[in-house]
Amino acid sequence: MQRFELYIDGEFLPGAAWFESLDPASGAPWAEIAEARRAEVDRAVAAAGRAFRTGPWPAMSATQRGKLLMRLADLVQAAAPELAQIETRDTGKILRETSAQIAYVADYYRYYAGLADKIEGAHLPIDKPDMEVWLRREPIGTVAAIVPWNSQLFLSAVKLGPALAAGCTVVLKASEDGPAPLLAFARLVHEAGFPPGVVNVITGFAPDCGAVLTAHPGIDHIAFTGGPETARHVLRASAENLASTSLELGGKSPFIVFADADLESAVNAQIAGIFAATGQSCVAGSRLLVQESIKAGMLAELAARAGRIVIGAPGEMTTEMGPLCTARQRARLHGIVTASVAAGARLVCGGVIPEGPGTYYPPTILDCSAAPEAPCLHEEMFGPVLSVVGFADEEAALRIANDTAYGLASGLFTRDLSRAHRMIRALRAGIVWVNTYRAVSPIAPFGGHGLSGHGREGGLAAALDYTTVKTVWLRTSEEPIPDPFVMR
Ligand code: NAD
């Protein structure tokens, strides 16, 4: 079995214990992972705090930081095939997807490498004649970056990139499910030449690791991606250190198709929107809202396409859908499907746990038109399950689309430009994709509101989230400051 160690203060270390990571395709252990508990968390936070205050990092210019990030980008690109193999093995995400995604992750580091020396302060036109006042943009401090198991290299790049560009130091915590790719990524951080303690990579379980890290007095900012329930724990923990937070949480994103849409594109985008990554995607288009007049046809086409998806070993390049990451996740998802059928949803396809090893689940479509309260329409499932409802007109489409506590993404397929603009204005979501779905870029902010969290990742503004403003007052007058207690 391969072993993956923690990376703390520039050294690779065993943790408090070893735990096994399972290959979701076989259910068998394939790697041993070093587990961080309180002592390792303390050590990592202390190292990051030291690296923030002393040593080479705070003395480096922003341009030098950018060069280190650029080196990291090149190393990620070169190692993408190897990292993709590790992520596929550890999480079951198919090799086609991990290969393409990790190669693109390099561009996220390049984007923030270029941004490092463009984070500027400001000069204020102050209302006093003998004062100069300006704002310095300074790094916010030591960051706890916490990611779930899906798309970890991507989800950590959108935190590490802006944090390091801004001059912060980071303790990155990988999920206890599928942590190997991030611990392997730590080797590239080391090779890139970041000073010890600037980036630390650990993993562990909630009570001894995640909870300790988020409440730690040495943490100034928490960048969290995960589910809303965990986010509540994170916020409660941050009541201890009063760290600022950005939360990228789940979604129940509507995918809205009007009768005038290009149906071929809509079907292709919907298939990718819900079945790519085996549906384990925060922006999964998990609620299809389709105009009544085309609903039967679109459902038939989607079911036919779902039936042709090649399900198999995640490491085969011909595989289009792999297993879910954990057995726990499959049991939860299947429970929601079963409860939804009991609530009146009609199973169009899938919905049956297949025989054999691995945590596979088939592409599943539920017609919920007669069951508006079915749990599959309201709960995030994080799996290959599409819930469908018909709508009569634009008003009904909007009402159903916004009938969710989440607000991450939305998709809209129509050829009517005026309607598209009206819908864009009225949809309550952080992202609206029109006649496309799932497009992402380092240049474009990403995030939501409501149960989907707060803050944005990607883009220029994300780097500012890792800074704080220092206001500087400088008196220019040659005159002595008058005695304040002498009346004039
Ligand atoms: P999760 O919330 O269970 O875990 C996320 C991370 O939090 C893991 O690293 C976990 O170890 C850690 N954690 C668990 N308990 C903790 C605690 N008490 N304190 C601190 N950290 C703790 O999420 P998951 O099930 O692994 O991932 C799926 C969720 O992530 C879904 O809801 C999905 O939508 C969301 N997600 C969101 C985005 C986004 O960008 N909006 C991207 C991917 C995934």
Per residue in 186-195, pLDDT (tens digit) is 999 999 999 9
Residue 487 has pLDDT above 80, yes or no: no
pLDDT computed for residue 33 by the predictor: 98
pLDDT computed for residue 488 by the predictor: 64
- CA–CA separation, 241 vs 243, rounded Å? 5
Q: Which residues contact 296 (CB under 8 A, 6 or more apart)?
A: none
Q: What is the pLDDT of residues 181-218, one digit of tens each?
A: 999 999 999 999 999 999 999 999 999 999 999 999 99
pLDDT computed for residue 486 by the predictor: 82
Q: What is the pLDDT of residues 5-58, one digit of tens each?
A: 999 999 999 999 999 999 999 999 999 999 999 999 999 999 999 999 999 999
For ligand 1, whether the C-beta of 282 sits within 6 Å is: yes
In a domain, 25, yes or no: yes
C-alpha distances in angstroms, 187 versus 23, 76, 91, 194, 470? 22, 10, 19, 11, 35
Residue 228 sits in the same domain as residue 292: no
Residue 285 has pLDDT above 70, yes or no: yes
Residue 116 has pLDDT above 80, yes or no: yes
Residue 339 sits in the same domain as residue 268: yes
In a domain, 480, yes or no: no
Residue 214 sits in the same domain as residue 352: no
Q: What is the pLDDT of residues 60-80, one digit of tens each?
A: 999 999 999 999 999 999 999
Residue 305 sits in the same domain as residue 405: yes
- CA–CA separation, 416 vs 418, rounded Å? 6
Residue 125 has pLDDT above 70, yes or no: yes
- CA–CA separation, 254 vs 307, rounded Å? 22
Residue 463 has pLDDT above 70, yes or no: yes
In a domain, 345, yes or no: yes
pLDDT computed for residue 469 by the predictor: 98
Q: Which residues contact 487 (CB under 8 A, 6 or more apart)?
A: none
In a domain, 84, yes or no: yes
Q: What is the CATH number of the domain that holds 280?
A: 3.40.309.10
Compute, in angstroms, the gap from residue 98 CA to the centroid of ligand 1.
19
In ligand 1, which atom is closest to the CA atom of 173?
Answer: 9
CB-CB contact of 196 with 168 (8 Å) = no
Give percent of the chain with pLDDT exceeding 70: 100
Quote the radius of gyration of the chain (alpha carbons, Å).
25
In a domain, 484, yes or no: no
Which of 201, 203, 230 has most ligand 1 atoms within 8 Å of CB, for mutation? 230
Residue 78 sits in the same domain as residue 224: yes
Residue 91 has pLDDT above 70, yes or no: yes
Residue 94 sits in the same domain as residue 171: yes
In a domain, 402, yes or no: yes
Q: What is the pLDDT of residues 387-440, one digit of tens each?
A: 999 999 999 999 999 999 999 999 999 999 999 999 999 999 999 999 999 999
Residue 276 sits in the same domain as residue 220: no
Residue 286 sits in the same domain as residue 151: no
Task: Enumerate the β-bridge partners of residue 467.
Answer: 139
In a domain, 481, yes or no: no
Q: Give the total number of structural domains in the chain.
A: 2
pLDDT computed for residue 484 by the predictor: 87
Whether the full predicted model's pTM is greater than 0.85, yes or no, is: yes
Q: What is the pLDDT of residues 465-480, one digit of tens each?
A: 999 999 999 999 999 9
- CA–CA separation, 387 vs 366, rounded Å? 5
User: In this structure, what token pair is assigned to residue 336?
Assistant: 């929601």
Q: What is the CATH number of the domain that holds 95?
A: 3.40.605.10
pLDDT computed for residue 92 by the predictor: 95
Residue 404 sits in the same domain as residue 282: yes
- CA–CA separation, 332 vs 334, rounded Å? 6
Would strands 254-257 and 409-413 be described as parallel, antiparallel, or unpaired? parallel
3-state class (DSSP) for residue 242: coil
Query: What is the domain range of residue 53?
Result: 2-248+443-460+467-473
Residue 107 sits in the same domain as residue 183: yes
Residue 212 sits in the same domain as residue 264: no
Which of 87, 225, 328 has most ligand 1 atoms within 8 Å of CB, for mutation? 225
CB-CB contact of 123 with 469 (8 Å) = no
Kindly list the catalytic residues. 248, 282
Residue 190 sits in the same domain as residue 329: no
Q: Which amino acid is at 54?
A: T
In ligand 1, which atom is closest to the CA atom of 447?
Answer: 41
For ligand 1, whether the C-beta of 141 sits within 6 Å is: no
In ligand 1, which atom is closest to the CA atom of 158?
Answer: 40
For ligand 1, whether the C-beta of 375 sits within 6 Å is: no
Q: Which amino acid is at 109?
A: Y
In a domain, 262, yes or no: yes
